[in-house]
């Protein structure tokens, strides 16, 4: 019946890499989600551009150039908004700092694009007020050049996912993100998540999962759901690592125990239902 369970799951677009994970899913108690690309679409639209000392066009262009080698959803969205072809000859010395942003030489100028943490690292004073979305700050030659506000949307399927997990008697739904508290709490409230932790570096996400693992019952299991390259260590640390295959990175799919072949988080509730049914038949 385990083979039947795994086969049944796969027909629903859920790849379970072994019968032990099917069993673990039936005992899931805490489900931890990464935000960007998992509960949200991972497609950011530019909302506002606030340049300082340069034009809006220049700010968007230099930022897109600095971001050109990154595969982060933020980077892809900025390049999309810029819309013109990138001339790689203008770029050198590219560096991506996970959980912070990017630094690159563009036309010989040092362009840094990322969050407040990145600006603090470079000693660049920046805007620290509220914004309607995620803020990308930009420094040029270590001077503040303004910021771009971008916003992602919650997936239509996410609310259903949380509701179905509660119906499946999951004790806690949690969201982890490197994004700001402001953005994170908006998403958490919209979806009715039990807990939310923001402004985390990739390493902090592993620590949070360890904290949560210590809180669950002895036989209860914790699942982490993510899709990014950064998520591989957290996927490995959870009892059940679940990758969203829709937009997921190869590293995440490799590190995961369960792969959801679509971009629908509600498939996690489906997987739990299939596993419980399989175990009932087996026992
Ligand atoms: P999450 O997947 O939780 O949203 P990440 O760890 O990928 O977070 O990123 C956390 C934060 O780091 C982002 O919200 C953003 O502020 C900043 N960041 C990461 N990569 C980039 C990038 N390429 N460009 C600009 N900012 C970035
Ligand atoms: Mg991520």
Q: What is the ipTM score, two decimals?
A: 0.98
164 and 34: one domain? Answer: yes
Considering the domain architecture, whether residues 114 and 140 belong to the same structural domain is answered as yes
Over residues 36-53, the pLDDT tens digits come to 999 999 999 999 999 999
Q: What angle do helix axes 19-26 and 2-11 make, rounded to 10 degrees?
A: 80
Q: Alpha helix (H) ranges present in 176-260?
A: 181-191, 202-215, 232-237, 250-255
Q: First-to-last CA distance in the chain? A: 10
* Nearest CA owner, ligand 1 atom 14: 179
| Mean pLDDT, all residues of the chain | 94
pLDDT in tens, 212-247: 999 999 999 999 999 877 889 999 999 999 998 776
Same domain, 12 and 107: no
CATH code of the domain containing 185: 3.40.50.1000
Question: Residue 8: CB within 6 Å of ligand 1?
Answer: no
The average pLDDT across 55-71 equals 97
Distance, CA 33 to ligand 2 centroid (Å)? 10
99 plus 58 within the same structural domain = yes
Backbone angles phi, psi at 125, to 5 degrees: -65, 135
Ligand nearest to the CA of 98: 1
pLDDT at 111: 98
Q: What percent of the chain has pLDDT over 90?
A: 88
Residue in the block written with tokens 């303004």: 146
Nearest CA to ligand 1 atom 13: 179
CA 17, distance to chain mean position in Å, is: 22
| d(C-alpha 170, C-alpha 63), whole Å | 42
Residues 58 and 105 grouped into a single domain = yes
Q: Which ligand is nearest to the CA of 205?
A: 1
Helix, strand, coil in percent for the chain, rounding step 5: 45, 25, 30
**pTM (predicted TM-score):** 0.93
Q: Name the residue range of residue 214's domain.
A: 2-41+154-282
Cβ(73) to ligand 1 under 6 A? Answer: no
């Amino acid at each position: 019946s385990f083979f039947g369970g795994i086969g049944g799951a796969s027909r629903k677009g859920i790849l379970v890499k072994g019968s032990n994970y099917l069993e673990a899913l039936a005992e899931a108690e805490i489900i931890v989600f990464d935000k960007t690309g998992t509960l949200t679409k991972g497609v950011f639209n530019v909302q506002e551009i606030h340049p300082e000392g340069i034009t809006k066009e220049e700010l968007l262009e230099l930022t897109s150039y600095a971001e050109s080698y990154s595969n982060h959803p933020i980077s892809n969205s900025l390049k999309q908004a810029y819309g013109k072809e990138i001339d790689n000859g203008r770029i050198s010395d590219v560096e991506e700092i996970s959980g912070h942003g990017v630094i690159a030489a563009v036309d010989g100028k040092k362009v840094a694009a990322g969050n407040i943490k990145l600006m603090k690292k470079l000693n660049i004073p920046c805007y620290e007020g509220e914004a309607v979305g995620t803020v990308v700050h930009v420094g040029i030659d270590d001077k503040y050049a303004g910021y771009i506000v971008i916003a992602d949307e919650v997936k239509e399927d996410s609310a259903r996912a949380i509701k179905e997990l509660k119906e499946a008697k999951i004790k806690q739904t949690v969201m982890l993100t490197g994004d700001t508290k402001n953005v994170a709490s908006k998403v958490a409230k919209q979806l009715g998540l039990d807990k939310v932790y923001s402004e985390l570096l990739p390493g902090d996400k592993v620590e949070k999962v360890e904290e949560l693992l210590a809180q669950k019952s002895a036989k209860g299991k914790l699942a982490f759901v993510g899709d990014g390259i950064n998520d591989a260590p957290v996927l490995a640390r959870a009892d059940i690592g679940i990758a969203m295959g829709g937009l997921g990175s190869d590293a995440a799919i490799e590190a995961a125990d369960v792969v959801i072949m679509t971009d629908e988080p509600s498939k996690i509730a489906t997987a739990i239902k299939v596993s419980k049914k399989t175990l009932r038949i087996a026992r």
